[in-house]
Structure 1
Amino acid sequence: MNQLNKIAILIGLLLLPIFKSWAQEEIRFSNFSYNRLFYNPAYAGSSRFMEAVLAYRNQWVDIEGSPETTVLSIQAPVNYTNFGLGAVVYNNKFGIQKDNAVFLNYAYHLKVSFEGTLSMGIQAGFINKQINWTELTTYDPNFPSLDDPAFPNQDISTWVPNFGIGFYYYTPKYYLGFSAPRLLSNDQPASEGFSDNMKFKFKNTVCYLGAGATLPINPEFEFKPSALVISSYSGTTTAMANFDMLHESGISFGLGYRTDDSVAGNIGYQLSQKLSFSYSYEKYFGKYQSKGFTNHEIILNYNLSLKKSKITSPRYF
């Protein structure tokens, strides 16, 4: 069996769960292959250069309180060693809830074949979980001069620890990864006290299985399929798949499918040797069609060589 057939089978196996899926869980990005450290700590150091990613996603546009997510990540190999380091900072807002998080990543890379490398990574950090009750306007006719007593009259904020693991196998042509970047299901803060939010609960742990490949079509074009399957301990599964084309000029374009009956259009451009830009427009076409079920996503990737040699492949797996 040749290498191309192996890659096709690998992508096909990852897409099987698409035919049975449920609602979205955790934070997701349409262009997940441009933001891999967020999903897998083992990605740290897998490139031959330092990579910084700034990602922004605005979900369900025109709906008040809809999710907004901003992620900043940075990763790099440590020269003359077999490990890489990274860091992820993100802000996620949904209604009156807000999460601010910071994680540090460490990955060890082991050469297992002539072209293949297996990376094993861990990450640890803290999440600041907030519920801003004072942003709500409440009214109960039984309490005409007061706000509804069923709602707290003050904001709640709690710092909680979390950690995760990941495995990432990569070659110059394809990659395969499995991770659980946030093993603990930190509940939203409760008014009863800090201690109730420090319990380690694995019941809603989310795992990610991802894969992608770069398949040359001709001297000018490369086909870049990728897939990400998201599964939780509670039994829910979602999946995403992108089918992109990359031109030698640095222009990329493609389509994506989401198991919540959403379709995404992806475009990108290599602005310079170091900087690339990608944009994703996602539209929901399911049962509950609405102009508000539209998502926008922008990702900037900045690559900086740690050695004097030039960056020859910004999309190296």
Structure 2
Amino acid sequence: MRVVLEAALLVSNQVKLHPLALHALFNLFFEKKCHTLEIDPPDAPEIDTWRAGLRESDWDEMELLLDESTQRQLRDPPVNVIRVADVPAVQWVGDVPRFPLQEAISLLHKPLRVLIEGVNDERFLQSAVPHFYRSRFEDWSSREFLKFEFRGGLPNLELTLGQELRVRERRLRLFAMIDSDARKRGEPSLKSRDVARTCGRAKVAHHQLKRRAIENYLPEPALEQWLKRKHAREFDTAWLPRLKAFRALSDEQRHHYNMRAGLKKDRDGTGLADIFETLVTHKPDDARHLEEGFGEVAESFHEDSIPEAWRIKDGQSDELMDLFEKMLRAA
């Protein structure tokens, strides 16, 4: 989070009443590298007045902190911004809220709550994080700057958002990953669109998956690897024909195929998407092999190490970079 400290606060009654609070705020930025700090205006006379009461070593640390924050803002500017000001209560006038010192400290101590549908989604994120973001993601996760919360499906995710958004401060510490449930490219389900729209209106950082579900991000070599281990005895006879039919699909068909339950599940539900008409008409044998799907393939995210090169070849890298950039900038 980007934190703009109003210079007048440095010499305010808040600081006089709570002399250790300002020190606690600054310590947060040394401990939690997900936050950045700046003082506004940077040439305010209050800064000189406040500096006069500091040891030279303390001021040197402050300059280092401010310089590091500037560099982080240039590299990965945080999505959410608050001002820490000499105000008696949180003020929500305009785009940037103004927080009293103690309330700001409380907010910044809280992790970014990453709302996802289930435990498989967390393991998917751990597996799919690009090398560029891996160190930061793993560090922030282990130190609980990121907290994953399972909601058990889009309806429950929507319900959770409705409850959380009633408290405006909570919006600043939320991120949602939303399944698209899209049957074809660019057409998320109605429920998925509703959840994404709710996030957008409340300015909650979020990412709606472009592919149907997390299972559609399992690269084909990883799918083969999992099938061979899970169904070793019957792989050649029962699963290899299905895998070959899956390989023959177009990119759009693979990205929106029902990986767990197959074409039959869609046909028995709301009907097959039109992107599969050519498959059924011109490749009936392949369509027959793909009737049942592959089962609980998301287990692979728990059990296997998936090389990033496989994801790049599968065309996922741009979206994954976008997903993790959004998440980490929201922290």
State the TM-score, normalizing by the size of structure 1.
0.23
* Structure with a larger share of its residues in helix: 2
State the TM-score, normalizing by the size of structure 2.
0.22
* Structure with a larger share of its residues in strand: 1
Please tell me whether Structure 1 or Structure 2 has the larger radius of gyration of its CA atoms: 2
